Amino acid sequence: MQVILPAREVTDSGKRAHMAIMQEESHRRGRRASRKREGRGGILEADDARAQAAFRLSSEPDGRFSGRRQTKEGQARKVHDAAQRLAAIVESSNDAIIGKDLNGIVTSWNPAAEQMFGYRAEEMFGESIRRIIPPEVLPDEERLMSAVARGERTEHYETLRRKRDGECIEVSLTLSPVFYRSEIVGVASIARDISQQKKVEQALNTSEKLAAVGRLAATIAHEINNPLEAITNLVFLAQGHTKDGDGELFLKQAQQELERVALLTKQTLGFYRESKGARELTLEEIVLPLVAAFSARSRLKQVSVETEFRQNPTIVGVPGEMRQLFANLLNNSIDAVKDGGRIRIRVSATRERSGRRRSGVRLTISDNGPGIAPELRKKLFDPFFTTKRELGTGLGLWITSNILCKHEGNIRMRSSVVPRKTWTAFSVFLPERLEAVASAA
């Protein structure tokens, strides 16, 4: 059965179909436009209601679109990335970067702090910063923390900090207040280890002092030596023109003292100028004249000086420096012992106790003085360190160690501070031959 619709109905149906097709085409064009704008930074969804709920799009004056939520998320991402970069800088810094609250409780501890102080981060979190501060500088720390609490910044403040093993190191501190919502909530501390820098500065100062001491000593010795020679000659002439027995004795004693002073001036000049001239020698020819030169001092203190030459092998050395070495050790022993004390000097052929086991000679000087405290023994060979207070310069043993280094020798010290059993012994080893001289030959 065929149904024939009226012409009006066919026309309305066609219109509805045409409108449906046009709407679909419009949606397709909208989606294409959305994809194009997405490439320029704006995102449009087909569903306008969902787009408004998700992004609340707003049109900018230049025609672009931006999403407020997208902007906030981008800002949050930037903040997060900046925080990550800052954390990486703190983690990779060579300086110790420490965070703490206003009460000094540690809140952050970077790897450089672990390496510098020896404490792991988990050991320090929640602990007081006083753990690494020596007691003598605690007042300085309290003063610095008070300044930071007032909003003040401290830069390059040099102080001390204590490592886990008890060693104190010199550090340069920079302290800055940490703000949160306009309130100071903590302290950021940056510590740099300047111990090596201080040692270099001290070494430079020491070398300058030593150079000045050397120049002054050489000048004084030179000026004293000239009149001494004249006085020695006059005493010699006077001895031939006096017939009084006491007068001859006094002149002889005066000549001995003049010879002693002349020897000291020559030693001083030799220390400053004599750096070459190594030759074969024996310690006997060095030791005996110096024992005689120091006899006046030992007699004054009633100190007994005993010498023993078990063997007397020949070695190679600079005579002036060998005299300086022995004079420093003997002088220290005489200063150390009390009146009526005892000093023993022994020379013997031997082999090196360790290392290359070289053959050579050993000089031992021992005394029954008060001994050397254990905490002082490591510093004995440092320049300008002395236990004699105003009597000593602190240069004798330092010079001795340098002379031994030049002559490829070594020195050992043993001491006892046990009551009624106190003593000190310095043992010097010198090789028969110097390798530097042998290789040059």
What is the per-residue pLDDT across 185-230, written as a single tens digit (0 to 9) for each? Answer: 999 999 999 988 887 777 777 666 666 676 667 667 666 766 777 7
Pick the CATH number of 80-193 from 3.30.70.580, 3.30.450.20, 3.40.630.10, 3.30.2320.50: 3.30.450.20
Residues 117, 123, 124: CA angle, nearest 5 degrees: 65
Among 226-230, 333-337, 371-375, which stretch is predicted with the lowest mean pLDDT? Answer: 226-230
Share of the chain above pLDDT 90, in %: 40
pLDDT band with cut points at 50, 70 and 90 for residue 137: very high
Q: Which one is predicted more confidently, 196 or 150?
A: 150
Can you tell me whether residue 245 is helix, strand or coil?
helix
Distances in Å between the Cα of 261 and the Cα atoms of 3, 230, 265, 440 are 151, 13, 6, 37
Residue 129, strand partner residues: none
Tell me the per-residue pLDDT of 274-313, one tens digit each, with 9 for 90 and over: 445 788 999 999 999 888 878 888 888 999 999 999 999 9
Parse the chain into domains and list their residue ranges: 80-193, 195-273, 277-441
Phi–psi pair at 241, nearest 5 degrees: -120, 15
- Please say if the pLDDT value at position 266 is more than 90: no
Cα-based torsion angle of the residue sequence 235, 241, 242, 243 in order, rounded to the nearest 10 degrees: 140
Mean pLDDT across the stretch 364-385?
A: 90
- Please say if the pLDDT value at position 45 is more than 50: no
Residue type, 63: G
Mean pLDDT across the stretch 362-374?
A: 95
In the numeric block, the tokens 């403040």 are attached to 157
Quote the pLDDT of residue 211.
67
Phi–psi pair at 303, nearest 5 degrees: -95, 130
Mean pLDDT across the stretch 384-408?
A: 80
Quote the pLDDT of residue 202.
74
What is the spatial distance between Cα 294 and Cα 260, in angstroms, rounded to a whole number? 8
Distances in Å between the Cα of 303 and the Cα atoms of 89, 295, 299, 338, 368 are 67, 9, 6, 8, 10
Question: What DSSP element (H or E) covers 227?
Answer: helix 195-239
Quote the pLDDT of residue 346.
96
pTM above threshold 0.75: no
User: Do 170 and 149 form a contact (C-beta atoms < 8 A)?
Assistant: no
Pick the CATH number of 277-441 from 1.10.3720.10, 2.40.50.1020, 3.40.449.10, 3.30.565.10: 3.30.565.10
Residue 233, strand partner residues: none
Residue type, 41: G
Residue type, 231: I
